[in-house]
Structure 1
C-alpha cells in the first residue's frame, strides 16, 4: 500500500528532476559560450544560444506532431502547435535564409506556414474548438502558457534598451541586454517544449486507458450475481415431498 502511494510521487519527482537537469544543461552551454567566444560576436544569430532555441522549437513541433498521430481527435490542435513552432523556428533562422536563399525568404516561408495552418484550422474549426476546450483543462496547457508569456511578453520587455541604459547609464553594454533577453527567450522556449512533452505524455496515457480492457463486471450484472434467481428476504421456499 505504501509503495503504491509513493510510486506516483517518485514518477513525478523523476520528471521534475529531468526537466531541471535539462534547463540546467542549457545554462551551462550558454555559460560555456560566454567564456569561449569574443564579446563582439557573443550571442549573435549564429551563436550556440540561437541554435539551442531552434533545436528546442524543432523538438516541440515533433512532440506535437506525434501526439496528433497517436490521437486523431487532437490533430486540429496539434497542427496549430506544429505551425506555431515552425513559424518561430523559421524566425530564428531568418539570417541564414536571407543570406543563403534570398532576401526576404524567411518572411515568405512564415507566410506560407501561417496560411496553410490557418486554412487547416478553419476547415476543422469545430474539432479544433473541442480539442482546445479539452487542452485548457490539461496541466500541459499551464506549462506551455507560462512559456509563451515568458517568450513573447517578459523577454521582450526585459530586453528593452531603455531599461538597460537606465541600469548601466554611461557604462551601457549592448551584449548584456542581448544576453538577458535571449536567455529568457531560451527559458520560455524550454517551458513550451516541456509543456509539449507533457502533452504527449497525457496523450499516451489516454490512449493506454482507452485500449485497456474492462475486466471488472458490475455487481448488478447477471454474471456477477450468478445464475440462481434472487430469493426474497423472509421467504421460506416450499418443497414438494
Structure 2
C-alpha cells in the first residue's frame, strides 16, 4: 500500500506556483536558444553553444537530485537507481563528441554500458521490491512529467529530426544545420520536463521522509 505521504497534496497554491515557475523556465530555455542564434553565430548549436550546455546542466541537475533522494532521503532506492542510471547514461551520451575527441572513439558506449548493465542487473535481482516501489511511483505527478519528457526527447525529437523529413520540407534549400537545430531544441524541452519531474520527485520524497521520521518518533 503506498505511503500516505506519497499521495497527499502539497496544496493547490504551491502546485500553481511550481507550474508557473516551470512555465517560465520553459520559456527561458526557448529564449536562450533564440539568443544563441542571434548572438553566438560561431557556437550556435555546437557542443559549446547554449543549447548543448543547457542540456548537460539539466541532466547534471536531475542526476544530483536523484542522488540526494536515494542516498540522503532513502526513498524508493530501486526506482531511483534505475532513473539515475538512465539519466547518467543520457548525460554521457550528450558528451559523445568530447569523449570521441579527447578519450577514444566510442568511449561513451563503454561508459554507458558500465553504468547501465550493473544497474539493470541489481534491479532484476531485487525485482519484487522494484515492482512495489514502481507501483507507488506510478501514482505520482512526477512519473507523468518524466514520461512526457522521455517521449519528447527519445521519441518525438528523433522522428522530428529525421533528415528525410526536413529534406521533404526544405527540398533544394535543405541544410543539415537546420535539421540538427530543430532536434536539439526539442531535446532541450524534453530534458527540461525530466528535470521538472525530478524536482517533483524530490518534493514528494521529502514529505515521505518527514512522515517516516514522525512515525519513528511516536
TM-score, scaled relative to structure 1: 0.80
Structure 1 CA distance for aligned equivalents of residues 211 and 177 of structure 2: 51
1:62 alignment partner in structure 2 = 64
Alpha-carbon distance, 1:82 to partner: 0.8
CA distance in 2, matches of 1:118, 1:8: 36
Distance 1:66 1:132 in 2: 18
Q: What corresponds to 1:42 in structure 2?
A: 44
Q: Name the CA distance, whole Å, in 2 between partners of 1:32 and 1:73.
A: 39
Indicate how the Cα distance of structure 1 residues 201 and 73 shifts in structure 2: closer, same or farther if over 3 A, else same: closer
The reply to whether residue 92 of structure 1 matches residue 94 of structure 2 is: yes
Contact 2:44/2:50 (CA < 8 Å) preserved in 1? Answer: no
- SS in structure 1 at match of 2:11: helix
Instruction: Provide the secondary structure at the position in 2 that maps to 1:212.
Output: helix
Q: How far off is 1:71 after superposition? A: 4.2
- In structure 1, distance between residues paired with 2:211 and 2:115: 34
**Distance (Å, rounded) in 2 between the aligned partners of 1:86 and 1:136:** 21
1:31 aligns with 2:34: yes
Contact 1:150 1:187 in 2 (8 A): yes
Q: Give the TM-score of the pair, scaled to structure 2.
A: 0.88
Which protein has the bigger helix share?
A: 2
Query: After TM superposition, which residue ranges in structure 1, 4 or more long, deviate above 6 angstroms?
Result: none
**Aligned CA-pair RMSD:** 1.9
1:77-156 to structure 2, matched below 5 A, reads 77-156=79-158
SS in 1 for 2:139: coil
Cα distance in 2, alignment partners of residues 193 and 213 from structure 1: 30
Number of aligned positions between the proteins? 207
Determine whether 1:8 maps to 2:33. no
Deviations 1:187-219 (A, max 9, x none): 0111011001101111111222333369xxxxx
Classify the secondary structure of the residue corresponding to 1:185. helix
Larger Cα Rg: Structure 1 or Structure 2? 1
User: Structure 2 CA distance, aligned partners of 1:12 and 1:104?
Assistant: 43
